[in-house]
Structure 1
Amino acid sequence: MQEDRIRHAGLRDRVVDADHAAALIQPGETVAMSGFTGSGYPKAVPLALAARIEQAHAEGQPFQIKLMTGASTAPELDGALAKADAIALRMPFQSDPDARKRINDGTLDYIDIHLSHVAQHVWFGFYGPIDTAVVEVSAIREDGTLVPSTSIGNNKTWLDLASKVIVEVNDWQPAGMEGMHDIYYGTALPPYRKPIPMEHVHDRIGDTTLRCDPDKIVAVVRTHGPDRNSPFTPIDATSERIAGHLIEFLKHEVALGRLPPTLLPLQSGVGNIPNAVLAGLAKSGFRGLTAFTEVIQDGMLDLLREGVLDVASCTGFALSPAANEAFKRDIAFYRERIIMRTQEMSNHPELVRRLGCIGMNGMIEADLYGNVNSTHVMGSRIQNGIGGSGDFARNGFMSVFLSPSTAKGGSISALVPMVSHVDHTEHDVSVIVTEQGLADLRGLTPKQRAHTLIANCVHPDYRDALQDYFDRALQHSYGKHTPHLLPEALSWHQRWLETGSMQG
């Protein structure tokens, strides 16, 4: 690593290896680490900590920590610690298969919360004090401030509240990131809050670096390791059809005057379908777009490079290895067009509402009336978590949920009589899109929503069955406003558990 990545003389004296840094974390501590969707997470200390905990367990000693992050991380963090049975409690979001298995086995406690709530909840002390923060940065400046790397997430809060801080300085991260970040220090807790001085996506309202009392930094670890995100998966035909329905709808909204030609700031979840939507926007002639989102993935980099997107605001990246290399190569170009904010700003409900964001997120299932389950398979097994989808669904100008109409080779329908778990109520869902079509639910009564969803979004293999359920519910339900047959409402899920298919 080049010496100028650690430019504070006093902190240069605290450089140790990962094993020595991990030894500073004690059993039972609450440890807050950086990281957001596989970017900007510490690469070395979590692995060393996992090895230390495995050794302690082999000697019959109990050793677990409570782990907080910005969102999901990567195998070197969530995966390594989960495999070592090192985590007693995890929050606020995860996507690691080993962690997921333990959560669903009941051996790892998990708190799944809106990403915009994390900082506030921690400041109020809902989870107790933070003992140690482990944060990756790309550099330490002469004044001791920290240049973030490819995510910010909750790092500001972790550094403010932790009793001691371990900093990983990763020289794999591009030095040219300095100046890309916008860290707002004007937040306060109720009743002392003031308006956030931000009117447009491109507004900068904070510092370019993170502040941290140098006396709290107990160790600095030099690293050189890449962010771990999956290679880009080619967009499949189903995702293209879903994207096509949404793009046509957006063009129609522009023609009606309900959206400007530049649309409104876009928020996009991570995955193949959102990437397909972004690709569709480019092909459809849209220009001058903006994004106010949590994560930038490959598709948004493409839109910035092609001039479709003018500016994008985020808190982290989810880039394939190839896109990561392109980002690093053209860092000067992207630094002028990407603004990275803290998680409490990227997901702030008031900013989402005021800017009028269009939220586009995936789902596991939706029901007849537009309630959406985005977290739990068959009602009880967590997949990943709610993440930031609720921040944008509840507060955005328009909330769109996208999914293939079936899963598991057609054995599961994404449209069911009643969702087995509710993350987004019918009141917060504007549009549902599958490869079958699009249902605009705005301004519709519950029964009208049911008719629209059945006609437009349900797979043909399930359409007659769902129509039959709805027709009989209209006749025999306890009430006629939102008709349900309670003994049958979750029967599709139960049938899948018993037979491996929702089809009768």
Structure 2
Amino acid sequence: MSAQRILCPRLRQRIMDADAAAALIPAGANVGMSGFTGAGYPKAVPQALAARMRAHHDHGEADRISIWTGASTAPELDGALAEVDGIELRLPYQSDPVCRQKINEGRMEYIDIHLSHVAPYAWAGFFGKLDVAVIEVAGITEQGELIPSSSIGNNKTWIDLADRVILEVNHGQSAGLDGMHDVYYGTALPPHRQPIPLTGPQQRIGERYLHCPPEKIIAVVETNAPDRNSRFSEPDEASRRIAGHLLEFFSREVDAGRLPANLLPLQSGVGNIANAVLAGLADGPFENLTAYTEVLQDGMLSLLKSGKLASASATAFSLSPDANRDLAEHIDFYRDRIVLRPQEISNHPEVIRRLGVIAMNGMIEADLYGNVNSTHVMGTRIMNGIGGSGDFARNGYLSVFMTPSTAKEGAISTIVPMVSHVDHTEHDVQIVVTEQGLADLRGLPPRERARRIIEHCAHPDFRPRLLDYFERASASGRGLHTPHLLSEALSWHERYEQTGRM
């Protein structure tokens, strides 16, 4: 296998198995690992590390590390290490059920942070010193350059900052990924920052490969394993209705002259609703679309194949097994149309604002005035994290948040008097969409926003109670700019915790 993917003679001498490489990671280390939404994460070293930790813990020896990544990874990394209580601190995003449980039990520290902030914070030293980087790559050139894998995320930053680097060369990743990446080395901390010279989603401003001084690379581990991502469900009726409302809105915006006929670059969060919107675009009237996003899902590959989507820029894939096979089988086609970048570029506020991105993200709940909670259940229990939604919501040309109007088989209203946790304030939220309808909040004062959200987005089972709350708050005399009844504002959440229904 080595001759196919590891062409640098000097680095061939550092090939070892995963157990030997894991032994080079000391307990208590800060470890930067590759991986973004289940793509491009190391497969072997984390599992070998988990086995070592389990053995140490069985003998009463502490063995934990802090893990920094691009975003979520997969069971072979987050799950394996969380299962053996091997993670002291995790950042900046996770979606693993074992991690989530331990974070909410207080057994794992977690820093939930805007993805665009991670690299600058790391360079400034806010997280401490990065000891080791463990990075999956698709290959190593004869000159020692690193061919990125199915995600870039924070890999450039981890390689630059870490004292030592361990590489996993994954023969299971398509060799045709070579040439799909655009690694920009022009970022800097203030006061040395310069404009990022990116003016279009398909433009390339960086380099083809990641660079790492050979003396920093202490191990090379060969693997042959696919990324682990779940199959996406077929869009349900609620998702299709949400997509329909949004596509009708885009058509009105084009007719009003506020969007061009091919819209503006699209950003789409991860999940079935996002894929339903992309499926709707495939059947819609818009041609020559572009995407500037974090993650490429199945729906965007379909849009590229159909010709509806001309080009897509991201930092990672998040594909079902079927879509992963399609990517590998048609890699030459996709390589001409897809650019993968470091997440400090894919999520950079300057670039998002310049390109006029249309940001479309999911949420847990929204309140009457347009504040959005996208991270916490009932105010205290983390679900996954804010990810890049804040980067795009605050800086995009349009900021859209979507969810079904109810959850837990109708026990929960996702439109509430006051959100139990705020991730995106009313100032960053322009459009709220549920299967009930779409509320365009642009240019509206708070009380008009409330009326529009109740009328267009709330489920009929909850709409009268929301209107009653709003009218009583407005009549209370406690302030008419943003009326609230403080004794009742979170009572819906409290009632759910006590009775199981809002």
TM-score (norm 1): 0.99
Aligned residue in 2 for 1:446: 446
Aligned residue in 2 for 1:371: 371
* Structure-1 separation of matches of 2:116 and 2:391: 7
* Structure-2 separation of matches of 1:94 and 1:478: 40
- How big is the shift at 1:477? 4.7
Aligned residue in 2 for 1:3: 3
Aligned residue in 1 for 2:266: 266
Aligned residue in 2 for 1:154: 154
SS in 2 for 1:254: helix
The one-letter code sitting in structure 1 at the alignment partner of 2:320 is S
SS in 2 for 1:182: coil
* Structure-2 separation of matches of 1:242 and 1:475: 33
Comparing 279-288 with 389-398, which one deviates more in the overlay? Answer: 279-288
Judge conservation of contact 2:447–2:482 (CA < 8 Å) in 1.
yes
* Structure-2 separation of matches of 1:201 and 1:170: 28
* Structure-2 separation of matches of 1:246 and 1:53: 48
Which runs of structure 2 are paired with 1:479-490 in the superposition (5 Å)?
A: 479-490=479-490
Aligned residue in 2 for 1:423: 423
The one-letter code sitting in structure 2 at the alignment partner of 1:186 is G
Judge conservation of contact 1:454–1:467 (CA < 8 Å) in 2.
yes
Which runs of structure 2 are paired with 1:37-56 in the superposition (5 Å)?
A: 37-56=37-56
Aligned residue in 1 for 2:396: 396
SS in 1 for 2:40: coil
- How big is the shift at 1:232? 2.1
Judge conservation of contact 1:41–1:135 (CA < 8 Å) in 2.
yes
- How big is the shift at 1:42? 0.2
Aligned residue in 2 for 1:164: 164
TM-score (norm 2): 1.00
* 1:204 corresponds to 2:204: yes
Aligned residue in 2 for 1:237: 237
Aligned residue in 2 for 1:176: 176
Aligned residue in 2 for 1:189: 189
- How big is the shift at 1:235? 1.1
- Unaligned 5+ segments in structure 2 are none
Judge conservation of contact 1:152–1:316 (CA < 8 Å) in 2.
yes
SS in 2 for 1:15: coil
The one-letter code sitting in structure 1 at the alignment partner of 2:35 is G
- How big is the shift at 1:231? 1.0
SS in 1 for 2:461: helix
Aligned residue in 1 for 2:319: 319
The one-letter code sitting in structure 2 at the alignment partner of 1:432 is V
Judge conservation of contact 2:2–2:12 (CA < 8 Å) in 1.
no
Which runs of structure 2 are paired with 1:332-481 in the superposition (5 Å)?
A: 332-481=332-481
Judge conservation of contact 1:477–1:484 (CA < 8 Å) in 2.
no
Deviations 1:401-453 (A, max 9, x none): 00000000100000000000000000000100000000000000000000000
Which runs of structure 2 are paired with 1:70-85 in the superposition (5 Å)?
A: 70-85=70-85
- How big is the shift at 1:2? 5.1
* Structure-2 separation of matches of 1:234 and 1:179: 32
- How big is the shift at 1:23? 0.2
- How big is the shift at 1:34? 0.0
Deviations 1:95-136 (A, max 9, x none): 000000000001100000000000000000001110000000
The one-letter code sitting in structure 1 at the alignment partner of 2:464 is D
Judge conservation of contact 1:477–1:485 (CA < 8 Å) in 2.
no
* Structure-2 separation of matches of 1:447 and 1:232: 38
SS in 2 for 1:165: strand
Aligned residue in 1 for 2:307: 307
Comparing 280-289 with 316-325, which one deviates more in the overlay? Answer: 280-289
* Structure-1 separation of matches of 2:408 and 2:152: 35
The one-letter code sitting in structure 2 at the alignment partner of 1:110 is Y
* Structure-1 separation of matches of 2:494 and 2:187: 47
SS in 2 for 1:438: strand
Judge conservation of contact 1:167–1:221 (CA < 8 Å) in 2.
yes
* Structure-1 separation of matches of 2:475 and 2:217: 67
Aligned residue in 2 for 1:277: 277
Aligned residue in 2 for 1:137: 137
- How big is the shift at 1:29? 0.3
Aligned residue in 1 for 2:62: 62
* Structure-2 separation of matches of 1:13 and 1:2: 11
* Structure-2 separation of matches of 1:76 and 1:279: 31
SS in 2 for 1:460: coil
The one-letter code sitting in structure 1 at the alignment partner of 2:480 is K
Deviations 1:457-488 (A, max 9, x none): 00001000000000000011521100000000
Judge conservation of contact 2:386–2:423 (CA < 8 Å) in 1.
yes
SS in 2 for 1:461: coil
- Unaligned 5+ segments in structure 1 are none
* Structure-1 separation of matches of 2:255 and 2:197: 32
* Structure-2 separation of matches of 1:196 and 1:240: 37
Comparing 276-285 with 464-473, which one deviates more in the overlay? Answer: 276-285
Q: CA RMSD in A?
A: 0.5
The one-letter code sitting in structure 2 at the alignment partner of 1:373 is N
* Structure-2 separation of matches of 1:361 and 1:171: 33
* Structure-2 separation of matches of 1:170 and 1:477: 65
- How big is the shift at 1:4? 2.5
The one-letter code sitting in structure 2 at the alignment partner of 1:233 is S
